């Protein structure tokens, strides 16, 4: 009996320690987000005075100043970022699943070589191919165009690798073969059978790809020249690099807060698929 009581006490203490650790970790993660929201409600003078855990009274003023800033077209930046991020996520996820399905479901001579080639591309940093990419889009007249920002999303080796691993764990070939026997075409099988099975993986990669494209500064700064095509990260950097005498930290925190909201909304819409996928995987296991 004593042994059982000691075991229960140890389990209880372990749970308490785990919950405390997770609570502290959650607070640390949310603290900087809370600080961002607080500073977006404070004036430039109040922010320069130092830290404050309480919101200020300059939210409306900061919001009005950001919208009134002629050099920072916020609505245009939001629209451009939504177009680029949304299309990048859609193209990246769909074509990565399609490529992974081709490697997973078909047997051909160069299958292993194709897989190794895609993995090698995954190891190549974006900065290495930036100059060649810039020359390419200049030659095909896509420079200073949003197309040049979302079209490369079709080739996403990292997303492909994740999708292929997920297929090997969750997509039995018997389902595909049964669909073929029933007379289903390859694209019909892919769109109506494979994609629904891959929903949890699609949601995870859609979130990651959307956030990556939304926060991407390097590629838009390299490609975009005109103000009407600039995305939010460029506008934020442009606002932060303003003249010191005109530098308004309240506006900077406000535009960053505005930039974070679409990411949160996308996560809230797609997070249910992630939870559903984890639950389904635990039940199968």
User: Measuring CA to CA, which residue among 121, 201, 125, 123 is closest to residue 154?
Assistant: 121
pLDDT the model gives residue 20: 93
pLDDT along the chain (285 residues), means of 10: 72 89 90 88 85 85 84 87 94 93 88 88 80 88 90 90 88 87 87 88 88 90 88 84 66 87 81 60 42
pTM comes to 0.81
pLDDT at site 282: 40
**DSSP H helical segments within the chain, as ranges?**
2-39, 44-49, 59-68, 74-105, 111-122, 130-139, 147-150, 157-170, 173-181, 186-189, 195-197, 199-215, 218-223, 232-240, 249-284
pLDDT of residue 186: 87
How many Å apart are CA 66 and CA 274, to the nearest integer? 35
Count the residues in the chain: 285
Measure the CA–CA gap between 163 and 122, rounded to whole angstroms.
Answer: 14
**Token pair for residue 275?**
């939870």
Provide the pLDDT for residue 281: 43
CB atoms within 10 A of CB 277: 19
Please give the DSSP secondary-structure letter assigned to residue 191: I
The DSSP letter of residue 106 is -
Terminal C-alpha separation, the chain: 33
Question: Longest Cα pair distance anywhere in the chain, in angstroms?
Answer: 80
- Are 258 and 78 in contact, with CB atoms under 8 Å apart? yes
């Amino acid at each position: 009996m004593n042994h059982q009581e000691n075991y229960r006490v140890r389990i209880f203490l372990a749970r308490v320690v785990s919950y405390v650790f997770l609570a502290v970790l959650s607070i640390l993660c949310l603290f900087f987000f809370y600080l961002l929201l607080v500073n977006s409600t404070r004036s430039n003078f109040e922010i320069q005075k130092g830290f404050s855990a309480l919101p200020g009274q300059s939210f409306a003023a900061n919001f009005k100043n950001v919208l009134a800033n002629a050099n920072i077209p916020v609505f245009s930046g939001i629209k451009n970022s939504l177009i680029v991020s949304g299309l990048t996520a859609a193209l990246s996820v769909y074509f990565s699943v399609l490529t992974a399905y081709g490697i997973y479901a078909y047997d051909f001579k160069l299958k292993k070589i194709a897989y190794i080639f895609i993995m090698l591309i995954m190891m190549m940093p974006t900065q290495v191919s930036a100059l060649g990419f810039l020359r390419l889009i200049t030659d095909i007249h896509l420079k200073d165009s949003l197309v040049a920002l979302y079209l490369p999303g079709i080739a996403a080796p990292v997303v492909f690798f994740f999708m292929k691993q997920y297929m090997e764990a969750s997509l039995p070939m018997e389902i595909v073969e049964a669909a073929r026997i029933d007379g289903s075409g390859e694209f019909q099988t892919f769109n109506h059978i494979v994609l629904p099975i891959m929903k949890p993986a699609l949601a995870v990669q859609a979130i990651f790809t959307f956030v990556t494209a939304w926060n991407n500064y390097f590629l838009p700064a390299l490609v975009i020249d005109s103000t009407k095509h600039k995305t939010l990260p460029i506008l934020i950097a442009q606002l932060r690099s303003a003249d010191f005498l005109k530098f308004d930290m309240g506006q900077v925190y406000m535009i960053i807060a505005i930039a974070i909201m679409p990411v949160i909304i996308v996560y809230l819409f797609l997070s249910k698929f992630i939870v559903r996928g984890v639950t389904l995987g635990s039940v199968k296991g």
